[in-house]
Amino acid sequence: MTAVMENDPPSNQPINAPGNQPNERPDASDNQAALDDLVALLDLEAIEVNLFRGRSPDENRQRVFGGQVAGQALVAAARTIDERSRLVHSLHAYFLRPGDPTVPILYEVDRIRDGRSFSTRRVVAIQHGRAIFNLQASFHDHEPGHNHQLPMPEGMGDPLDLPDFHTRMAPYAEQIGDWYHRPRPIDLRYVDGDPTSRRGQSTTKQHVWLRADGVLPDDPVLHACVVTYASDMTLLDTTLLPFGLDWDTAGMQMASVDHAMWFHRPFRADEWLLYAQSAVSTSSARGMAQGTIFTADGRLVVSVVQEGLTRLTS
């Protein structure tokens, strides 16, 4: 399953040299419409008990974006939880085969267990009669208890003072083409500079502010699914930072292999969240990165670990 980066054009054109195309920016209504399209993308069709159908956006992609499948699979799992207050607290997923964006994806849910305070679901995503993805998720009723967390990194600034996608990529608009001008449902802003601008510099960490670029309904399940979708956008390229490389390096082949998330506290995906990411290990053409997601007021709300293919073919 492709781990498409936030600024990766669908046909994978290289981003190597600036162009001269003018900076035509979508406005707030365009971005809200893109976010509404994402919400519709996550709204699966129930076709039988424990069986749901999802679609892919009409974009020129070779493979389905991994975050889309993870988000849709979590929606399918949550649709089978009868207790409205029982929310996802963890998920573990494997990307098995590339998804075909031209045909629907079937999501088959196995209701493994419903206990007094926990429920467990297993979801298999199927295309062309074969599994392309599986996910296991656990749901838990809220309970009182002790409270502890790691502190939020300091000095992350105001996300509104950082360049958005269209500002960062304006010099490359001609190479990206129509992909540059499209509105985006997720606003991502790099604190340390985006990976392309840091090519050749060795580091192990990056920090990204993110939010859904509009207003979402007051549904905690939807907010969890939107963050699941967004969590796959930038984490894997963190594994290339120690080598001064990025996703656009010639001959670089990248794909998500497995993805795990833990949801600690309530949050809204349409408010700014800081995604602090670090490279853990890279070996045998696989890279592992971990991320912690904080609200703007410093609450740790989500932890993420991802391993993926980072194969340099030339």
User: Which of the residues are catalytic?
Assistant: 232, 256, 306
Chain position carrying tokens 């949550």: 78
Q: Rounded to an integer, what distance in angstroms lies between the CA atom of residue 190 and that of residue 206?
A: 8
Q: Which two tokens stand for residue 82?
A: 């009868």
Closest by Cα among 63, 3, 66, 1 to 246: 3
Q: Rounded to an integer, what distance in angstroms lies between the CA atom of residue 18 and that of residue 175?
A: 8
Residue 108, beta-bridge partner list: 51, 124
Question: What stretches of the chain show up as alpha helix (H) in DSSP?
Answer: 28-42, 66-79, 165-169, 173-176, 178-181, 220-231
Q: Rounded to an integer, what distance in angstroms lies between the CA atom of residue 61 and that of residue 288?
A: 25
Chain position carrying tokens 């002790």: 146
Amino acid at 102: T
Cα separations (Å) of 228 from 75, 139, 261? 10, 15, 8
**End-to-end CA, the chain:** 21
The residue length of the chain stands at 314
- Kindly report the number of other CB atoms within 10 A of residue 283's CB atom: 8
Q: Rounded to an integer, what distance in angstroms lies between the CA atom of residue 304 and that of residue 90?
A: 10
